[in-house]
Structure 1
Amino acid sequence: MYLGTRILSFTPTSDKSTLPDLTKLQISVITKTTCKIPGLPNDTYAIQNEAHAKLINMTIPPPSAGEEGPYSQCTIYKAENNTWSDFAEITNTTPQMACTSWVYDTTSFYPTAITEFEMVCGNEIMRSHSNMVGFGGALAGALVLGLLTDVIGRKKTLLISLVIQLGSGIGIAYSPNYISFVVFNFLCGIARMGEFMIAFVIGMELVGPTKRTYVGLVIEFFWCIGLIILAGVAYLIRDWRYLQLSLTLPVVFFFAYWWLLPESPRWLLSRGRLDEAEVIIKRIAKSNGVTMRKSIMRDITLHEGPHAKITAMFTSPVLLLRCVIIFFNWLAINIIYYGLGLNVSNLSGNVYLNFVISSLVELVAYIILIFIMDKTGRKKLYLVSMLLGGIACLATVFPVMYGTKAHTWVTVTLSMVGKFGASAAFGVIYVFSAELFPTVIRQSGIGACSIFEGIGGMVAPYIADLGILLGGHFASILPLIVFGGVTVVAGLTSLGLPETQNKKLPETIEDAIEFGRPGYDKKEESLLDPKSQSDGRSKLTYGVDDVRKTGWISHQDTSQF
């Protein structure tokens, strides 16, 4: 099936902005560290022998409050010349000083951006800044490339995104310092958001209304599968620079989509390029075993409907409150979704295994959504997902307060339950919010939501690193408590939104004001009305499924289309 192969072959290139994939975790993971023994060039984090252990005890004091490990991470004993031979007489009163070089645990990762750019001992927030800048690039990409794709087309914007991705990915791998690392991370965020956005848009525009929910969720399957593959690659390649290169260079193969991927027929029609659109639509029809009339293109129109400004939603108290709830929920769901992903490296246990489990949990959430979203309703499903994720995160306080190290698996399990709820809510909110905005501002409304999505992503790294920045006994669960609290509050505010399933969606601002009130027409919105056309034929309004519905294509069996 032409549509299926095109969509499925395209979506693996997608990447949700600069989401917390294992590449980011391995590049900027917080590894165990301690001060390097002055004057000992071959010093290591692991104790080599008894003589090495004696030197460590002579030069490095015990850990201070909030530090983990047997030795201090940031201070050494002060000696006259600061060489290991000067530390012969060490007592409890020996003064201490901040160290200027460190050794790192190389069990899981080495080297990383953290170790090379020394984001430790007072500089931990540099990691949060780096992740925030990446999400800032994603926000910029959504705004700039979102406009560009409507001007020059989906394929050209995709090519631009791939070029930026290739250049910035190589730039990250060869970054000589922190500043260049952050700059290339910003550019990479722009590119990756462009790739995912175009994958999602063109996938939705190549199918009709009845298939959009399905396609929107299937795209996420490939995102999850890609995460699992990343875990395997990252496990085999421990050097962050080589890992970055190994995941960047294959982008070259995706330039083949310039020839393999068709331009969106909808975009071509909106630009009046009917001949090009006809070639693509006929190719789709042929692959699905249906026949098109030769004169079909004379009857096709692209009806965009009336338009209004997003500010029209602020003219009524009902709509203003609805907008505030929607925007806050976009902010909250992105904070918990991205934050839980970034927090994987802060959980106990094997980071690779935790990451694979987290990806599988997300995949299961999307699979379940396909079967129940159209049966349970958007509002109820979204509320349950948010409360499940939030309460699970809040519950992590109990194993830390009342459990032992043997119960750390409980914290990991609750974090995964939180990821399940967040992933499910993430999948629902796209459909739910789009159905809540009236037709005249639906596109602008989703665009405004993407701004709050970007802000949520930019805030998430700081929350995920709260435990690292503040330290203490609750360091591992502090981010989860914040994520859980925000999620529960946001989920409860969604009670103020009307249900949209099996309802006639609002067309105008006036419809939006009445939507959800008793007496509002609850009939399912008619996507096409053949009787509305004087010649007895409907017009193409969106997607290829509509072509089959209008009767332009005649075939004994059109079930594949």
Structure 2
Amino acid sequence: MWTGAHQGLFGCGGSVEGAGCPPGKREFPGALKFLYDIGAVHFSCEMAKENNSMAELKSQHNFRSFNQHEAAECPRSLSLEGLLCRLKAIEAKKDDKFANILNAVGEFGTFQRRLVALTFIPSILSAFFLFADIFVFTPQKPYCNTSWILAVGPNLSEAEQMNLTLPRESNGSFLTCLMYVPVDWDLNSIIQFGLNHTDTCQDGWIYPEVKKRSLINEFDLVCGREANTRIVQIMFLAGFLTGSLIFGFISDKLGRYPTILLSLLGLIIFGFGTAFVSNFHQYLFFRFGVSQAVIGYVISSVSLATEWLVGVHRAHAIILEQSFFAVGAMFLTGLAHSLPHWRLLYLVGGAPVFFLISYIWILPESPRWLMMKGKLNEAKQVLCYAADVNKKTIPLNLLDKLQLPRKVTSSSILDFRNDRHLRKVTSVMCSVGFAVGYNCHTLSFRIRELGVNIYFTQVIPRLMELPARLCCIFLLEQFKRKRSLSLTLFQGTLMCFLSLILPSELKFLSVLIIVLGGFILVASVTVFLIYTAELLPTVLRTTGLGLVFLAWAAGYILSLMISSQGIPILPIFLCCISSIMALTLCSKLPETQDHLLPESLEHFLPLTRTRNEDMLNEDISRDDVTEEVAKNTILNTMMMNMDRDVLSNLPSQSREEEIDRRTEGQAPR
């Protein structure tokens, strides 16, 4: 009865006599044949259970595909470990009822496509508001305002006025930030004798060579006040740091939907509202709010896409969202080049932000998060709505199988310290985030030192970002998550190292290496986001992402501090050390591609093995292992799993009675 299922799972490589395979194949040893029979009977029983409905037949087909993927990662030889690995793959897929429901809803139907499309406009606007500082702080040449001379010579042109009242350098150009002290002479005396005593600017500054209005010439951030532009970076980082913690915590506590709406509200108020600030201190406050809103949206939207989509669609959605982030940066560059006033830049570029108000009615909540918070009915309603949009129907018997976790526990940021496996994953990804952040911003500071035109430094890297992010699709398919991250981080670090050791005289080669390094590191950032979101459990996914972005910001801060020191060896040293440490630690992480998402800390087990599995592997590794030892070990492991499943399905009172009977040595009834 079970020969067909048996043969479909393992193939003829594990044949026994009479199983329908060609003759001449060797038989299993006793222990392997024993396990083979157990696996076959177990598999056939599961097939019989899954034949109750068409939806569950589809689910069976899906977990069979999953089993094939797992078999590729297991030992390919027909060994005891290989068969156990295949059986464990079947059990894992069978238990993931949520994935089966998502398959019934439709893996990438109208609902999922709409969800991905909803990330386009916020991503464009996030990049627009995030990088706007680059174009509103363009360098200016300030000259002292000497309009006092117009009182004695009202018909003087601007050139004549500057020639009479401003001192010159040795090369003949006017000095900035200095002027001749005003005198009570008539115009003829000033022209005949000239002015000799200089002083700093007394009545403000003029900018005759500037054609555009920027923050520098509107708030006079010149002549000793340039340090105010560095404060903008500090406020941006402060908002980034606080936003990572606050929005990561809020998203795990209140949900992805309210956190995204709160972030979009921040973009509306602090992004578009920047056009109406009246002084520089207000501008700093609004930039602080914008950086918080941007990081809050990135964390929550990546988590929402991760929890709604399955398989390759999950990675493609995040890659596409990041691609539109690059589109937003190019959109900003074009507007900044064409608009003559910085306020117009915020007004025109930020106008689409009001469309985001409609997200109140069309944005869905994550059903995985609802399940982890004990909101079963709300999760079912969201799933049924998604199925309705996709014109699908979820079978009732499949939907009824969706149950709350056995123990709905509260989680907190302290779990990152108390849980060993979560602490390990977070620490490794924080080291990778630090290295990526440091290398990215070291390259950006390096290209500014070369004196390249600001529009060139923005247009070329942004044009390179799109193919870099889209190349991640091919990269992930070929090398998976962990290898892709290691490969891109290594190559990006190499480019960063070369850009730092090359002399400034080789300007063209330096710029080429910096652009190539930026291309590779952009791909590294995209893989890093996908990999981190899949490693973290649902109950603490956004909090973990917030901590990882904290490490990224720390790399940015350190790069900012070192670039201002002017010590050439320090950037090279930290570039190498941080990347070597990140690459070494990254090798300790598990692969997540095509694996199930961890939902809670109890399910967060890809990094460990149970005690029984360790005992089994220890027995297998011995040369003198006997058939009897293998049988007993396998039976003990399977019986313990069966007992645990039976006890978990009993009512609480019956469970206690059953435990008491077993403790007292009585046979169960």
User: TM over 0.5, yes or no?
Assistant: yes
1:358-507 alignment, distance < 5 Å: 358-376=461-479, 378=481, 381-396=484-499, 401-403=504-506, 408-432=507-531, 445-458=544-557, 466=564, 486-497=574-585, 498=587, 500=589, 502=591, 507=604
Aligned match of 2:432 in 329, 351, 354?
A: 329
CA displacement at 1:26 relative to structure 2: 1.4
Alignment partner of 1:265 is 2:265: no
Name the CA distance, whole Å, in 1 between partners of 2:387 and 2:465.
34
Letter in 1 for 2:118: S
CA deviations on 1:170-212 (whole Å, 9 max, x unpaired) are: 4422222121111111112222222222222211121125533
How big is the shift at 1:124? 2.1
Hey, what's the Cα distance between the residues in 1 that align with 2:213 and 2:223?
17
CA contact (8 A) 2:144 2:205 kept: yes
Q: Is the 8 A contact 2:435 2:582 kept in 1?
A: no
| Letter of the structure 2 residue corresponding to residue 293 of structure 1 | P
Q: How far did 1:358 drift?
A: 1.0
| C-alpha contact (below 8 Å) 2:251/2:542 kept by paired residues | no
The equivalences for 1:31-430 within 5 A come to 31-39=139-147, 52=159, 55-56=162-163, 59-62=166-169, 70-77=173-180, 96-100=198-202, 101-104=204-207, 110-288=212-390, 290-301=392-403, 303=405, 309-312=415-418, 326-338=429-441, 340=443, 348-376=451-479, 378=481, 381-396=484-499, 401-403=504-506, 408-430=507-529
Cα deviations across residues 126-181 of structure 1 (Å, max 9, x unaligned)?
Answer: 11211221221122222222222233332222222222222223442222212111
Query: Closer, same or farther in 2 for the Cα pair 1:238/1:332, shift >3 Å?
Result: farther
Alpha-carbon RMSD:
4.5
Indicate if the aligned counterparts of 1:231 and 1:356 stay in contact, CA closer than 8 A.
Answer: yes
Q: CA deviation at 1:371?
A: 0.8
* Residue 21 of structure 1: how far off its partner (Å): 4.6
Hey, what's the Cα distance between the residues in 2 that align with 1:327 and 1:359? 26
Higher mean alpha-carbon deviation, 11-20 vs 504-513, is at 504-513
- Cα distance in 2 for partners of 1:412, 1:128 equals 24
Question: Contact 1:35–1:74 (CA<8 Å) still a contact in 2?
Answer: yes
- Gap change, CA 1:17 and 1:495, over 3 Å in 2: same
Q: Partners in 1 of 2:388 and 2:285 — Cα distance?
A: 47
Matched, 1:5 2:111: no
Call closer, same or farther: CA 1:326–1:206 in 2, change over 3 Å.
closer
Could you say which residue in structure 1 is the equivalent of 2:54? none
| CA gap 1:261/1:458 in 2 versus in 1, 3 angstroms | same
Per the TM alignment, residue 299 of structure 1 is displaced from its structure 2 partner at its CA by 1.4
| Aligned with 2:132 (options 14, 18, 23) | 23
The structure with more radius of gyration: 2
DSSP 3-state at the match of 1:223: helix
Q: Say if 2:304 and 2:366, in contact at 8 Å, map to a contact too.
A: yes
1:511 aligns with 2:608: yes
Counterpart Cα distance in 2 of 1:112 and 1:378: 43
Instruction: Kindly indicate whether the alpha-carbon contact (under 8 Å) linking 2:500 and 2:571 is maintained by their aligned counterparts in 1.
Output: no
Change in Cα spacing, 1:455 to 1:273, as seen in structure 2 (3 Å) is same
TM-fit CA distance, 1:116: 1.9
Given that residues 383 and 491 in structure 1 are in contact (C-alpha distance below 8 angstroms), is that contact kept between their aligned partners in structure 2? no
Q: Which stretch shifts more, 20-29 or 479-488?
A: 479-488
For 2:516 and 2:610, locate their aligned partners in 1 and report how far apart those are by CA, in whole Å: 36
The structure-2 alpha-carbon separation of the partners of 1:194 and 1:331, relative to structure 1 and needing over 3 Å to count, comes to same
**Could you tell me how far 1:338 is from its partner in structure 2?**
4.9
Please tell me whether the aligned partners of residues 39 and 83 of structure 1 are also in contact (alpha carbons under 8 angstroms): no
Distance 2:125 2:361 in 1: 24
Q: Could you tell me whether the CA contact under 8 Å between 1:172 and 1:181 is conserved in 2?
A: yes
CA distance in 2, matches of 1:256, 1:479: 51
Q: What's the TM-score, normalizing by structure 1? A: 0.72
SS in structure 2 at match of 1:97: strand
Distance 1:218 1:420 in 2: 16
**Structure 2 residue matching 1:291: 3-state secondary structure:** coil
**Do the aligned partners of residues 261 and 203 (structure 1) sit closer, same or farther apart at CA in structure 2, a change above 3 Å counting?**
same
Paired amino acid for 2:579:
G
Deviation string 1:2-46 (CA, Å, 9 cap, x unpaired) is 2022212334313697888542211223x231323522699xxxx
Separation (CA, whole Å) in 2 of partners of 1:328 and 1:16: 29
Distance 2:126 2:398 in 1: 39
Letter in 2 for 1:233: L
Q: CA distance change for structure 1 residues 129 and 247 in 2, over 3 Å: closer, same or farther?
A: same
| Aligned ranges 1:525-544 → 2 under 5 Å | none
- For the residue of structure 2 that corresponds to 1:155, the secondary structure is helix
* Counterpart contact for 1:387–1:488, Cα < 8 Å: no
Q: In the aligned structure 1, how far is the partner of 2:451 from the partner of 2:118?
A: 36
Distance 1:79 1:346, change over 3 A: farther
- The secondary structure found in structure 2 opposite 1:238 is coil
Q: Is contact 2:481–2:591 with CA below 8 Å preserved after alignment?
A: no
User: Please, what TM-score do these two structures have when normalized by structure 2?
Assistant: 0.61
SS at match of 1:200: helix
Distance in 2 between the 1:424 and 1:5 partners? 25
The amino acid of 1:39's aligned partner reads S
Q: Residues 195-237 of structure 1: CA distance to partner in whole angstroms, max 9, x if unpaired? A: 2222222111211255333322222111112222222222222
**Secondary structure at 2:169's aligned position in 1?**
coil
Q: Which residue of 1 aligns with 2:39?
A: none
For residues 28-80 of structure 1, the C-alpha deviation after alignment (integer angstroms, 9 at most, x for no partner) is: 23x231323522699xxxxxx9982784486233289xxxx944333345565
Q: How far did 1:326 drift?
A: 4.3
For the residues of structure 2 that align with 1:436 and 1:86, how far apart are their CA atoms?
76
The answer to which structure has the higher helix fraction is 2
Deviation (angstroms), 1:293: 0.8
Paired AA for residue 168 in structure 2: P
Distance, in Å, in 2 between the alignment partners of 1:377 and 1:178 is 47
Q: Using the alignment, how far apart are the partners of 2:462 and 2:530 within structure 1?
A: 22
Q: Is the 1:377–1:500 contact (alpha carbons within 8 Å) kept by the matching residues of 2?
A: no
Number of residue equivalences: 489
Summarize the Cα distance change of 1:484–1:374 in structure 2 as closer, same or farther, 3 Å threshold.
Answer: farther
**C-alpha separation between the residues in 1 aligned to 2:538 and 2:609?**
9
**CA contact under 8 A between 1:169 and 1:184: conserved in structure 2?**
yes
Q: Distance in 2 between matches of 1:281 and 1:420?
A: 38
Letter in 2 for 1:133: M
CA distance in 1: counterparts of 2:228 and 2:406, whole angstroms: 46
SS at match of 1:511: coil
Structure 2: where are the runs of 5+ without partners? 1-108, 151-155, 612-616, 619-640, 647-669
**Aligned-residue offset at 1:254:** 0.9
Give the % identical residues.
Answer: 21
- Contact in 2 for aligned 1:382/1:428 (Cα 8 Å): yes
Matches of 2:132 and 2:115, distance apart in 1: 27
Residue 290 of structure 1 and its aligned partner are, at CA, apart by 4.3
Could you tell me how far apart the structure 1 residues matched to 2:219 and 2:527 are? 39
Distance between the aligned counterparts of 1:194 and 1:431, measured in 2? 16
CA contact (8 A) 1:170 1:244 kept: yes
